Amino acid sequence: MQTVIIKKDAAKEPWSEEKLRNSIRAAAQDAGVDEERTKAVTNSVVEKVLDNIDDEKEVTSYRLRNVVLRELENMESGIADAWRKYELTK
């Protein structure tokens, strides 16, 4: 079953692990985190997200964001800060 993400504007899109991985990598690059650490953080965060959305049909982007930021804060707060900074530009 494919999980659907409900965006802030109520639009729906299919869950994309690659989209999440790309956004974490971009935030890590902005934060100046090395490639090896970026891979470890990305893999861990994606695993936690998958655990949280497992078998759910729909998940809000707000909930997804909270899981991602909580995990980033626990592992590498600089990446979390870069993620938040990017959000302000959207």
pLDDT in tens, 76-85: 999 999 999 9
Tokens of 69: 């930021």
Q: How confident is the model at residue 62 (pLDDT cuts 50, 70, 90)?
A: very high
pLDDT category at 54 given cuts 50, 70, 90 is confident
pTM greater than 0.85: yes
Q: How confident is the model at residue 64 (pLDDT cuts 50, 70, 90)?
A: very high
**What pLDDT was estimated at residue 1?**
59
Mean pLDDT of 56-74: 95
Contact 69, 83 (CB under 8 A): yes
Instruction: Take residue 55 and report the two structure tokens written for it.
Output: 């078998």
The CA distance from 73 to 59, in Å, is: 21
Considering all CA atoms of the chain, what is the largest pairwise distance in Å, rounded to the nearest integer?
A: 36
pLDDT in tens, 6-26: 999 999 999 999 999 999 999
| Nearest-angstrom CA–CA distance, 12 and 84 | 22
| Pick from 3, 8, 38, 11: nearest CA to 23 | 38
